[in-house]
Each structure stands twice: as structure tokens, then as C-alpha cells.
Amino acid sequence: MAERMQTCNLSEHNFEQCTKCSICTTVCPVAAVTTDYPGPKQAGPDGERYRLKDPAYFDKALKLCLNCKRCEVACPSGVHIADIIQHARMRAAEGQRATLRDTMLANTDLLGKMANLVAPVANATLGLSPTKLVMDSVMAIDKHRTFPAYSRQKFTTWFKRHAAKEQDAYAHHVSYFHGCYVNYNFPKLGQDLVKLLNAVGYGVHLLDKEQCCGVALIANGLYKQARRQARVNIDNIRKSVTRDKRVVLTTSSSCTFNMRDEYPSMLDIDNADVHDSISLATRFIYRLVDEEKIKLVFKQDYKRRMAYHTACHMQRMGWQLYSIMLLRMIPGLDLVELEQECCGISGTYGFKKENYERSQAIGSVLFKLIEDAKVEAVTTDCETCKWQIEMSTGLPVENPISVLADALDVEATRRANGIN
Amino acid sequence: MKMDTVIIGGGLSGLACGISLAKRGKRVTIVASGQSTMLFNGGSMEMLGYVDGKAVENPLGAIASLPESHPYRKIGADRIASIAERVKLLFSDSGIEMTGSANANHWRITPMGVAKPAWLTLSDHLRIDNLNQLPAKRLALMCIRGYFDQPNAMLAKGLRDLGFEVDMIEFTTDDITALRRSPSEMRATSLAKHLVSNNALQRVADQFNNLAGDADMVLMPSVFGQSDSSDFQLLQSKVNKPLRLVATLPPSVAGMRMMTQLRHYFKMLGGTYLTGDTAVSGTFDGDRLTSVTTAKLADMPLKADDFVLATGSFVSRGLKADFERVYEPVLGVDVDADADPEKWTRFGVLEPQAYFGYGVATDSQLRCLKQGKPIQNLRAIGSVLSGHDAVKMGDGTGVSLLTAIAAADHIREKK
Ligand SMILES: Cc1cc2nc3c(=O)[nH]c(=O)nc-3n(C[C@H](O)[C@H](O)[C@H](O)COP(=O)(O)OP(=O)(O)OC[C@H]3O[C@@H](n4cnc5c(N)ncnc54)[C@H](O)[C@@H]3O)c2cc1C
Ligand code: SF4
Ligand code: SF4
């Protein structure tokens, strides 16, 4: 009976479950650095009560929320605090247009496509002081930010020219959702994944079509466009899973979290049939090793000391263990696991002039931890954390897949897995 | 996924056990859903505060008078003395400065101004070794304007009853006033996050130096130092009288700080801490537990040689009750509790409650029982154990720490 009372009592996003304990507020990175933001309890379940009475109670301060989900991880009562806040923002944003700046930042793929055509020019201009000043004053993109460099050759172009042909020869197959970052900024990460998976006998394939996962669109209030792109992605993921019997791997924790969890909760896109077939590559590879289906052999002379940073969305999924355990298999890697702290960038948030200082203040706790760890590099599953940490600490940041690929003895691994 | 030890529950006991094992090279993973009851902790550890309603002077000495079913009796009084020393070491290794002795309780002050026996207290918090020799004559009790998690009048009355002269002094600074924009969020933990910079602390110190008058000690709520004690030390260096902190209502900054420091140390030792994941079930093979499954790693059971159950009591959902029975929800191990629900509670908030003593049944080596038989590689520690009562006996944190290390010893010592 008690159980039934509980199940019949469920409110949207569990907001009636809130016991007002304030634990969520103790972990909110924004409330920690500014009194402009009332914190998750007030912005979430408490404010929702008022907003249900009258939408006019919507507080503009809610747009300061990073949607990092740390509050949800900490809440002992299972309240989906950040979802409540995001939905309130969504309701308030209906009928309003996003600014040019927000639209530009949100369209990571459009920006990428354009820049990619003219990569050397784009890199030079985006990095140039006068350009930065214009961006700072006209576009309100903070001048301290360096745009991640654009690659001259897209990942997909490289893949089609240099890798696609060989993939069918392998015994097992997966699809790869590369995302904007790998495609336009950092094809090496995609190449590293192909190298790693090929060495253990897995062929890698692209989806028939993929679009930006839309994490930045959601954050910037461009919900309609996000929904459109989400549909395209889920349709193509579905083709891979049902038609080709291939799971879909990613190398970005934010894309993964967005497509698995935010599509249904924020955009009402039903992905239940493919949800479990979308996975971060480290999780997929770890499980193959754990089930003794593949073997990884690492270089004898590899030696590095690195710190692992758990991205907020990675923690929300609870998957950091896969990346950490995989990295710990590398004999020459001395890995420090950092306390989970928010880096402060949260996708496009930190690029905005009005957020820059707050973004750096939030990250300062993490930067100090990194400094104290005395490491030569940092590893994390999120590309925007990478930009933020690189800019703020000066240390190189790599995805765990790249670290693994770098440490891998490819020939020995291929032999160990019976591949010639 | 295979480890040496998997610990379910990342509160005080889970972390203490994890540190103890990781320090000796074991590969340990802690599964920890959310925050723990350390958020209620006022900066002290208690080994044994009361026996038969009377305050205990020498906790080690009083252990022999406890019933056989108490967790301390399972460890044995002689072992407890040496484990207690290792607890102090564990704290100092984690960067937590605590003082106190297992042979002689001192007094800690609750947010309501009541003196309670304690074993260890953070060195920046007010502690009284001897009620006849107070550490100060006149206290300046600094009360933060707009901060309601410290019942100042009650606290002052309690302190006066103990023999202090108390001046209640209200103060604020620009930083504190700014926080009042969200009055409902003006909690100890929010204050601690905003009173960190050198300038913010200087403004607090200026107020103290102006207002403290001829008091010989300044007392203020424990709203400093979210990650270590450096903020307090910086403030003390700016205030021209000795400064002490006193516990606030939860969420407690001191408790959060200690958890952060322990977790950090555990990770530095190579331990893995899975925040925000919950163990949901286990798989047994005869008298052994072979794996535990969590909510977020649903398709990858965590295998280990040894397991530790450190899930806490009812508040932490380590124990549950429905209308018929009290049970342990993750592994379904045996529970010591009255069968008749009528006996569980008594009317009256301040009445001793039978259910406080309920918990998981264990053998002399803290191994959990399932249908009366010990599970060879599963131990229970901390508040989830039966036979003790943090409220009535003041033994909560002591049981957590001492059973945690005793269990780690058992795990290391077995064949
Ligand atoms: C309100 C209150 C006030 C107290 N005050 C004092 C005091 O002043 N002095 C004192 O000495 N003691 C006090 N105690 C007792 C004290 O808090 C405990 O003795 C001690 O801190 C308990 O530590 P623990 O690790 O055993 O349990 P807990 O602190 O309860 O930690 C258990 C942890 O396990 C987690 N958990 C539970 N189930 C699962 C699962 N299935 N999977 C993963 N994780 C799980 C919980 O989320 C929690 O984090 C108090 C307790 C309460 C509730
Ligand atoms: S942590 Fe959860 S239960 Fe506590 S105040 Fe926040 S939303 Fe409410
Ligand atoms: S999602 Fe992050 S920023 Fe937003 S309220 Fe929660 S903890 Fe704060």
C-alpha cells in the first residue's frame, strides 16, 4: 500500500518529492559564485509552485542555470530539478526569438561548415584581436575566448577518402556518431577511434546522415530546430540499429547524454527503442574487454601522468567508471582522478560576454585541483570542458579515446585479437 | 567489472573503510547515492556519549558495560583502543584537524546551545574539556543578520547556563547583505561559498574587531571553509581575539568539508567513488555475494572478492519499513527488529524510539546474515548495523568509524 501511495503520487519531474533539504543548492556551481541566481531549490521545485499559479512568476535569473545537472545527481529525493528549470525556460521562451549571437553559437555545425571551407582564414580571423573586439562588442562573445581551431579537412572527408573502404573487411561492426566537434575541429579524435576499434576487429561506419545533436540549440532556446535535428538523428540511428544491427558509438559525453536523455525529457522525442544502443565508445570498449571479447596491448615505453576530469553530464549518466577503468589498463599511465567540479563553460554559456567572469569563477575550483595534481595533461570525455581547461590552465586536454589510441601498441593488439 | 572490494554507501563509514583498504593497495569502488548524514554533523565525532542516560567520561572504559549486541562488543574493547588511534591518523592524513581522546570525552556545543559529550572535535570549533574550567570568560557571540539557521537566543541561553558571559552582537557585511536577495537560500553552505576571498574575510574581521568589545573570545556560526580550514585560518589571522566556530543547523559546512576531504583523499589513494549511483541488487552464490548491480551501470554487475554494506539507517534508505516489516532493501539480508509494528515507535518526539536500534544482523566478524547464515564476503558497517543508537547513546559516528576500520582489518586478514 505504501508503495502504491508513492507511485500514484508522482508529479511531473518528481517535483512533489522535494523535502526542502537544500542539498541541491550546496552543489550548484552558479549559486556558489553569484547571488544573482537563487539556486536550484528556489529556481526549481519552489519556484515551480508559483509558476504553476501564474507564469508571470518566471524569474529571468533562470537563464543563468548551466543545465549541468549536478543538483539532480545530489538530490536524495530524485527530483529532476534541472529539467524543471529547463522546462520553465522553455515555456517562457515560447514566441521569443533568440538573438543573432545565440543563434550563431548554437549552430555549431553551421559555424563549422562555414569555417571549414576557409579554415586557415577562419582560424586566423577568429584569433585576431580586431575580430575578437568586434565579436566582443557587436556579438557579445567574450574577447578572452579563443574559438577552437577549425580543421582544414573534415572528419567525414578523411573517413571517406582513407578509411571507409577497409571497414567492411572486419568481423564486427559499429556506427559512429562523430558530432560537430570531431567533424570540424578535431578529426583526430575520430581517427583515433577508428584506429582503436579496427585494431580489435571492429569496422566503423558513419550513419546515413547525422546532424548536430542540438545540445547548444536547447541551451540557447532554439527548441524547434533542436527537435527537427533530433528527429533526423534518431531516424538515422534507428536505421543503423534495426537495419544494420550496429550500435551507435560516440566520443562526446554531452552528445551522448543529449541524445539518450534530453531528447525524450526536453524535446519529447521518443527514443526508447534505440536508447540502449547509443553508447559512449569508452563504455562499449570497456565492456568488450571485461567480457574478454577483445584484448588491448599497450606500448612498453609509454609513460605519462594525467588527471581525469569527470564532466558534469558524464557524472549524470554515471559512466565515468568506464573511462577511468579503461585508462587504468594502460600500464604507463599514472592517472589522478579529480574531485568532480564543474569547469564552468557548459557548452556555449561561457562564450557569452555576460557569462565569462562567472564561468571562470565557477571553474576556478577545478583549475586549482588540476594545478595541485601536478600532471602533464588532463583527460575528459567532453569537448567543451577541453576548451575551457586548456584555455584556463594551459595544459593539453585529450579525450580518453585519444589517450588509449596513443598508448596502444597497434601491431601487438591486432595480433592479440587475431587480425592481420 | 572486477575489484578487490565494492562498498555500497559513501557516507562516513563507507569512506573510512574505503580509505583503510585503498591505503593498503586494494582496488576499491564506492557506490554512493547522493549526500550522507554528515550534512547533519556539527564538527564532532562521538564514540560513546551516554550509558543509561548518564554522560560518559571515559568512552573506552565504558565499552565493557555495553550489551553483547552492541557493535563495539563485536570488535572488542582492546582492539577499539588501537583502532581509535588509527581513526585520528585517518583524519589527519585526509587533512582534517581534530583533537580529543578516547579515554576522556570533552564537550561539544550543539546549535541549540546544549553541551554534549564528544570524542573528537574539529580544532576550529568550540570545545570544552572541563565544565569547571571554561576556555573563556566572556564570549562575543556574533549573529549574522538575516541568517536564521542559528537559533541565537537559545544558543546564548545555553552558553550562559554553562557559565559563560555572552554578548549577542548582530553584524553584517556587503557580501552577506547581497546574499539576502534569496532569503530562503541563506544557509550555512551558501555563506561559506561567498565568504572566501581575502576581501570578504577582511570585511568580516573588521566588524569583529569593531564590535567584539571586551569579550575574550569571539564565537561565530560555522559558515567558513567549504573545502578546508584555510578560510578560517585566514580570518583568525585578521581578528585580534581567539575565534571559535559553533555548529549550525543543517546543511552543515563542517560536515560537507570533512566529506570532501575524505573523498579527495580516497581518490588520491586510487579509490573510485561513483557519485549519484545506487546499488539496486546483488547476486549470491551459496554463502557468497558475487556481484552487485547499480542503477546506472545496469548491464555491468560490479564483481569483487569482498563487499561492504554501508548504506546507513532509515534516513539514508539503508533500511526501509512498510506496514508489516523492517527490511534491508538492496541485498535482502537479515534485520534485527521487533516483529510487531506496534513496538517500533512510541508517541512523543523526545521519547526513546525502539526503531533507532534496528539494523542489519551480523556475526562476530561483522558479516551479514541471510536466513540466519553468515555471508562469507559481505560485511556491514556504520548506521545500517543493529544494536546501537546514535540519539540515545551518542555513538553514531564512533560506530561508523570503528566498525569501518574493523571490517577493513577483517577483509585484509582473511587467509
Ligand atoms: C539527523 C541526524 C543527526 C545525527 N547527528 C549525529 C551527531 O550529532 N553525532 C553523531 O555522532 N552521529 C550523529 N548522527 C549519526 C551519524 O550521522 C551517523 O552515525 C554516521 O555519520 C553515519 O554514517 P554512515 O556512513 O554509516 O551512514 P550514512 O551517513 O547514512 O551514509 C549512508 C550512505 O549510503 C548511501 N546509500 C544508501 N543506500 C544506498 C544504495 N543502495 N546504493 C548506494 N548508496 C546508498 C546513502 O545515500 C548515504 O550517502 C546523526 C544522524 C542523523 C540522521
Ligand atoms: S535536494 Fe532535492 S529534495 Fe532537497 S531541496 Fe533540492 S530538490 Fe528538494
Ligand atoms: S543544473 Fe547546474 S546550474 Fe542549474 S540549478 Fe542545477 S546545479 Fe545549478
Specify the amino acid at residue B18: G
Per-chain mean pLDDT for chain A: 86
Residue range B2-25: average pLDDT?
96
Does residue A103 fall inside a structural domain? no
Beta strands B279-285 and B288-294 are: antiparallel
Evaluate if pTM is beyond 0.95: no
Bigger pLDDT: A108 vs A296: A296
- CB pairs A-B closer than 8 Å: 103
Counting the structural domains of chain A, the total is 2
Interface contact B257, partner A, CB < 8 A: no
CA distance A314 to A309: 10
Widest Cα–Cα separation across chain B: 70
Interface contact B248, partner A, CB < 8 A: no
In this prediction, residue A1 has a pLDDT band, given cuts at 50, 70 and 90, of very low
Bigger pLDDT: B275 vs A179: A179
Q: Which residues contact A389 (CB under 8 A, 6 or more apart)?
A: A309, A343, A363, A366, A367, A370, A378, A380, A395, A397
CA distance B234 to A32: 20
Range of the domain at A343: 304-407
Q: Which residues of chain A neighbour B251 with C-beta distances below 8 Å?
A: 21-23, 26
In this prediction, residue A139 carries a pLDDT of 55
Tell me, yes or no, whether B275 and B357 share the same domain: yes
CA distances to B178, B262, B382 from B412, rounded to whole Å, are 52, 21, 19
Residue A386 · residue A314 · CB < 8 Å: no
Taking only the tens place, the pLDDT of each residue in A357-393 is 888 889 999 999 999 999 999 999 999 899 899 999 9
CA distance A397 to A376: 9
Distance of CA A28 from the midpoint of ligand 3 (Å):
5
Does residue B110 fall inside a structural domain? no
Residue range B98-106: average pLDDT?
97
Distance of CA A76 from the midpoint of ligand 2 (Å):
7
Closest residue in A to B300 (Cα–Cα): A287
Q: Which residues of chain A neighbour B276 with C-beta distances below 8 Å?
A: 73-74, 315-316, 318
Best probe of the B interface among A6, A24, A25, by most B CBs < 10 A, is A25
Tell me, yes or no, whether B74 and B142 share the same domain: no
Does residue A384 fall inside a structural domain? yes
Taking only the tens place, the pLDDT of each residue in B350-390 is 777 888 889 999 999 999 999 999 999 999 999 999 999 98
In this prediction, residue A358 carries a pLDDT of 86
Distance of CA B190 from the midpoint of ligand 2 (Å):
15
**Ligand sitting nearest the alpha carbon of A355:** 3
Best probe of the B interface among A23, A26, A275, by most B CBs < 10 A, is A26
- Least Cα distance to B285 among B308, B309, B311, B303 occurs for B303
Tell me, yes or no, whether B396 and B347 share the same domain: yes
Counting the structural domains of chain B, the total is 2
Residue B273 · residue B10 · CB < 8 Å: yes
In this prediction, residue B183 has a pLDDT band, given cuts at 50, 70 and 90, of confident
Does residue A120 fall inside a structural domain? no
In this prediction, residue B244 has a pLDDT band, given cuts at 50, 70 and 90, of very high
Does residue A153 fall inside a structural domain? no
- Least Cα distance to A3 among B344, B332, B322 occurs for B322
CA distances to A115, A350, A352, A391 from A220, rounded to whole Å, are 21, 12, 11, 23
Per-chain mean pLDDT for chain B: 93
Does residue B116 fall inside a structural domain? no
Tell me, yes or no, whether B27 and B136 share the same domain: no
Q: Does the beta-carbon distance from B189 to A365 stay under 8 Å?
A: no
Does residue B383 fall inside a structural domain? yes
Taking only the tens place, the pLDDT of each residue in A191-241 is 999 999 999 999 999 999 999 998 888 877 888 899 999 999 999 999 999
Does residue A114 fall inside a structural domain? no
Residue after which a domain boundary falls, among A93, A116, A137: A93
Does residue B111 fall inside a structural domain? no
The complex scores an ipTM of 0.81
Closest residue in A to B322 (Cα–Cα): A2
In this prediction, residue A396 has a pLDDT band, given cuts at 50, 70 and 90, of very high
Tell me, yes or no, whether B232 and B273 share the same domain: no
Tell me, yes or no, whether B95 and B139 share the same domain: no
Lowest pLDDT segment from A283-297, A321-335, B29-43, B171-185: B171-185
CA distance B34 to B293: 17
| Mutation choice for ligand 3 from A33, A42, A69, CB with most ligand atoms inside 8 A | A69
Neighbours of B68 (CB within 10 A): 8
In this prediction, residue A100 carries a pLDDT of 61
Distance of CA A65 from the midpoint of ligand 2 (Å):
16
Residue with cell 553508447: A279
In this prediction, residue B139 carries a pLDDT of 97
In this prediction, residue B344 carries a pLDDT of 84
CA distance B217 to B241: 6
Question: Ligand 1 atom closest to Cα of B32?
Answer: 44
Taking only the tens place, the pLDDT of each residue in B195-226 is 888 999 999 999 999 999 999 999 999 998 87
Distance of CA A77 from the midpoint of ligand 2 (Å):
7
Q: Is A303 helix (H, G, I), strand (E, B) or coil?
A: coil
Taking only the tens place, the pLDDT of each residue in A15-39 is 788 888 888 988 999 988 888 898 9
What residue's CA is closest to ligand 3, atom 5?
A: A40
Q: Which residues contact B197 (CB under 8 A, 6 or more apart)?
A: none
Taking only the tens place, the pLDDT of each residue in A129-169 is 555 545 555 556 666 666 566 777 899 999 999 999 999 99
Report the alpha-carbon angle A73-A74-A79, nearest 5.
75
Q: Is the pLDDT score of A348 beyond 80?
A: no
Tell me, yes or no, whether B338 and B370 share the same domain: yes
Give percent of chain A with pLDDT exceeding 90.
57
Does residue A84 fall inside a structural domain? yes
Q: Which residues contact B414 (CB under 8 A, 6 or more apart)?
A: none
Q: Is the pLDDT score of A123 beyond 80?
A: no
Angle, in degrees to the nearest 10, between helices A187-199 and A400-407: 50
Taking the alpha carbons at both ends of chain B, their separation in whole angstroms is 23
Residue after which a domain boundary falls, among B246, B272, B287: B246
Cell of A316: 549524470
Residue after which a domain boundary falls, among A45, A76, A93: A93
Q: Does the beta-carbon distance from A25 to B190 stay under 8 Å?
A: yes
Q: Does the beta-carbon distance from A336 to B181 stay under 8 Å?
A: no
In this prediction, residue B203 carries a pLDDT of 96
Tell me, yes or no, whether B224 and B174 share the same domain: yes
Cell of A98: 533568440
Does residue A194 fall inside a structural domain? no
Q: Is B106 helix (H, G, I), strand (E, B) or coil?
A: strand
Taking only the tens place, the pLDDT of each residue in A234-277 is 999 999 999 999 999 999 999 999 999 999 998 999 999 999 99
Range of the domain at B194: 126-246
Does residue B327 fall inside a structural domain? yes
